[in-house]
């Protein structure tokens, strides 16, 4: 397994722990603002992993499509990115 893959998995495992911690905070009736701060931290950590996966996709999958010279494959990879960004704006 590559170093970046391991790093992403480790980060996701930490995020899973954070989510369990937020659930425990809710069960323990902790102060709402503390819960919200932790939720923001989870969202931020998840966004960082998402960004890395997107960078990897561009560096690998999209770059391969461009290098292949196959216009259909290039169009497909471009459309995947457009759909992803459209979903993110919603």
Answer yes or no: is pLDDT of 1 > 80: no
HSE-up (13 A, CA, CB side) for residue 59: 7
- Note the pTM of the prediction, 2 decimals: 0.79
Residues 6+ apart with CB under 8 A from 68: 74
- What is the pLDDT at residue 21? 98
State phi, psi for 30 to the nearest 5 degrees.
-70, 165
Domains within the chain, CATH numbers bracketed: 3-89 (1.20.58.1000)
Q: How many residues does the chain have?
A: 90
Mean residue pLDDT of the chain comes to 91
pLDDT tens-place string over residues 22-59? 999 999 999 999 999 999 999 999 999 999 998 888 88
């Amino acid at each position: 397994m590559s170093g970046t893959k391991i790093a992403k998995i480790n980060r996701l495992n930490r995020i899973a722990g954070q989510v369990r911690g937020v659930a425990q905070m809710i069960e323990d009736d902790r102060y709402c603002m503390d819960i919200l701060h932790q939720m923001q931290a989870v969202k931020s950590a998840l966004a960082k992993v998402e960004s890395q996966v997107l960078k990897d996709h561009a560096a690998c999958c999209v770059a391969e499509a461009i290098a292949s010279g196959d216009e259909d494959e290039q169009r497909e990879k471009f459309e995947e990115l457009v759909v992803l960004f459209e979903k993110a704006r919603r």
